[in-house]
């Protein structure tokens, strides 16, 4: 799949699209113009074109309120779109929901577990609620899934004694009771401590390594960088960018940054040298270095009388790329 940059996120400083529209070839999720306008007129999701390749761990990244949960709820048939269409596991929706959903594990709102029952007993109750599950093999299924999420040793422990990370792993275990081709997780590390976050991240990677496509929403860039192969960036209900993380990062032009009290003059020199996107902000002038040898740029600046206090050439970090696209910062803590 190719990375694409679309929409209004591409403001003045943002570079042009990396590639044509994403291929929707072998995808676990495809949306075409998916839109949700709530009563009262608010457009929560606007003309969304997602392409989630099979086998990907796709990070659905965006600040709070950018439309992630609404999108996930539409994908799962929990709320009806007001425009556009979508496919899950190759089936057109919503007609194919009943056929596709058994292959989809989803964690949208945390499942309700009984605090006085053990993890295993809670999962047995979940399993019993699934009319397609064979009751005779329930115990084996629950044991296998507890093993998969690393909770075998705590299987008999009461839920209320579980740590936050264990609770979330149990919730993910509940989504894995059946064989799943696709796992959809809405902010699975929200509210977890660093240890719980690590546990959930490791579990997601492990599930993906078993061949399951994972679609996971997050407002944490660092988390998406660590866990995901692909990313879609939401801004105000629209998709500002999507593609393989490595491609989004690698496709960005290296920038020259000049630290100087003469930032405006430095930007003018860089522009005169033919560099794109030359701009000044505070005590920094920035431009795309292109093919110009950095030493030549530096010499020209000095010749023009610019007091160069710092000079670096580097690709923008993923965070800088996304801030450029969304116009908003990301919480990079954690």
Ligand X SMILES: Nc1ncnc2c1ncn2[C@@H]1O[C@H](COP(=O)(O)OP(=O)(O)OP(=O)(O)O)[C@@H](O)[C@H]1O
Single residue of 9, 53, 59, 62 touching ligand X by CB under 6 A: 62
Q: Quick check: 48 binds ligand X (CB under 6 A)?
A: no
Q: Quick check: 70 binds ligand X (CB under 6 A)?
A: yes
> Would you say 62 and 323 are in contact if contact means Cβ atoms under 8 Å apart?
no
Shorter beta-carbon distance to ligand X: residue 46 or 127: 46
Q: Closest distance between ligand X and the C-beta of residue 243, in Å?
A: 20
Single residue of 44, 142, 241, 285 touching ligand X by CB under 6 A: 44
Single residue of 65, 92, 156, 194 touching ligand X by CB under 6 A: 65
233 DSSP β-pair partners = 61, 241
Q: Closest distance between ligand X and the C-beta of residue 29, in Å?
A: 16
Q: Quick check: 173 binds ligand X (CB under 6 A)?
A: no
Query: In this structure, how many other beta carbons lie within 10 angstroms of the beta carbon of residue 315?
Result: 14
**Could you check whether the bond before residue 48 is cis, i.e. omega within 30 degrees of 0?**
no
Closest CA to 219 of 107, 326, 78, 112: 326
Helix (H, G, I), strand (E, B) or coil at 252: coil
Shorter beta-carbon distance to ligand X: residue 46 or 262: 46
Q: Which two tokens stand for residue 136?
A: 């005779």
Q: Closest distance between ligand X and the C-beta of residue 66, in Å?
A: 4
Q: Quick check: 66 binds ligand X (CB under 6 A)?
A: yes
Q: 155 burial class (0-12, 13-18, 19+ CB within 10 angstroms)?
A: middle
Q: Quick check: 326 binds ligand X (CB under 6 A)?
A: no
User: Which of these segments, 66-74, 142-150, 300-308, 317-325, binds ligand X (CB under 6 A)?
Assistant: 66-74
Shorter beta-carbon distance to ligand X: residue 55 or 111: 111
Single residue of 42, 195, 276, 312 touching ligand X by CB under 6 A: 42
Shorter beta-carbon distance to ligand X: residue 40 or 179: 40
Q: Quick check: 235 binds ligand X (CB under 6 A)?
A: no
Tell which phi-psi region holds residue 221, choosing left (phi > 0), alpha (psi between -120 and 50) or beta. Answer: alpha
Q: How far apart are CA 266 and CA 257, in angstroms?
A: 10
Q: How far apart are CA 321 and CA 42, in angstroms?
A: 28
Q: What is the DSSP string of 308-324?
A: -SEEEEEPPPHHHHHHH
Q: How far is CA 90 from CA 53, 55, 202, in A?
A: 11, 14, 28
Q: Closest distance between ligand X and the C-beta of residue 31, in Å?
A: 14
Q: Quick check: 64 binds ligand X (CB under 6 A)?
A: yes
Q: Note the residues at the interface with ligand X (CB under 6 A).
A: 38, 42, 44, 62, 64-70
């Amino acid at each position: 799949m190719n990375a694409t940059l679309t929409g209004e996120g591409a403001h003045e400083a943002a570079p042009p699209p990396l590639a044509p529209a994403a291929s929707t070839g072998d995808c676990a999720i495809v949306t075409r113009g998916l839109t949700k306008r709530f009563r009262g007129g608010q457009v929560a999701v606007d003309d969304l074109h997602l392409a989630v390749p099979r086998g990907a761990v796709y990070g659905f990244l965006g600040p709070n309120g950018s439309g992630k949960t609404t999108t996930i709820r539409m994908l799962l048939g929990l709320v009806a779109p007001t425009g556009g269409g979508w496919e899950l596991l190759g089936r057109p929706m919503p007609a194919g929901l009943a056929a596709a959903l058994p292959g989809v594990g989803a964690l949208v709102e945390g499942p309700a577990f009984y605090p006085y029952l053990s993890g295993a007993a809670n999962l047995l109750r979940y399993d019993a609620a699934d009319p397609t599950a064979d009751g005779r093999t329930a115990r084996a299924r629950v044991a296998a899934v507890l093993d998969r999420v690393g909770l075998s040793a705590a299987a008999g422990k009461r839920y209320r004694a579980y740590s936050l990370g264990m609770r979330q792993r149990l919730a993910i275990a509940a989504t894995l009771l059946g064989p799943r081709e696709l796992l959809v997780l809405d902010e699975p590390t929200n509210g977890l401590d660093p240890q719980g976050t690590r546990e959930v991240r490791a579990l997601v990677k492990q599930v993906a390594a078993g061949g399951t496509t994972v679609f996971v929403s997050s407002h944490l860039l660092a988390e998406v960088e660590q866990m995901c192969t692909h990313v879609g960036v939401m801004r105000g209900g629209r998709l500002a960018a999507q593609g393989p993380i490595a491609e989004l990062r690698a496709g960005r032009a290296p920038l020259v940054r000049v630290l100087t009290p003469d930032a405006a003059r430095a930007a003018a020199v860089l522009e005169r040298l033919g560099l794109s996107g030359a701009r000044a902000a505070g005590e920094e002038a920035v431009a795309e270095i292109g093919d110009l040898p950095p030493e030549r740029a530096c010499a020209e600046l000095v010749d023009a009388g610019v007091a160069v206090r710092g000079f670096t050439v580097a690709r923008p970090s993923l965070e800088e790329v996304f801030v450029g696209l969304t116009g908003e910062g990301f919480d990079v803590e954690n």
